[in-house]
Amino acid sequence: MSFIGWIIVGLIAGWLAEKLMKRDHGLLTNLIVGVLGAFIGGLITSIIGIGDHNDFGWILSIVTATLGAVILLWILGIVESKTGTRK
């Protein structure tokens, strides 16, 4: 997937994760969360042996990145609640 493709997947995944986790972020934060989510989701799928996403294309990439982004936001929510930084 091209660099532009990763940005598009990151934006979509970050936006979906934001909606699923009932958060309110901006476009840049959604992109960062989506790209980090893609990395986390990719690590998880490689650990459990699901394999290469090139066989399934954009949809599986978006699903994987979204699940990783949701996990990231969930972990950040736990950290924020323990430190009292979330408003």
Question: Each residue of 46-58: pLDDT tens digit?
Answer: 888 876 655 567 8
In angstroms, the CA 27 to CA 2 distance is 20
Please state the pTM of the whole predicted model: 0.83
| Residue 21 banded pLDDT, cuts 50, 70, 90 | very high
Return mean pLDDT, the chain: 86
pLDDT at res. 32: 92
**Tokens linked to 4:** 């532009």
In angstroms, the CA 54 to CA 71 distance is 23
pLDDT at res. 86: 60
**Closest C-alpha to 20, from 84, 65, 54:** 65
Question: For the chain, how many structural domains are there in total?
Answer: 1
Helix residue ranges per DSSP H, 21-57: 27-48
**Closest C-alpha to 61, from 78, 27, 69, 84:** 69
In angstroms, the CA 37 to CA 44 distance is 10
Which residues span the domain enclosing 37?
3-83
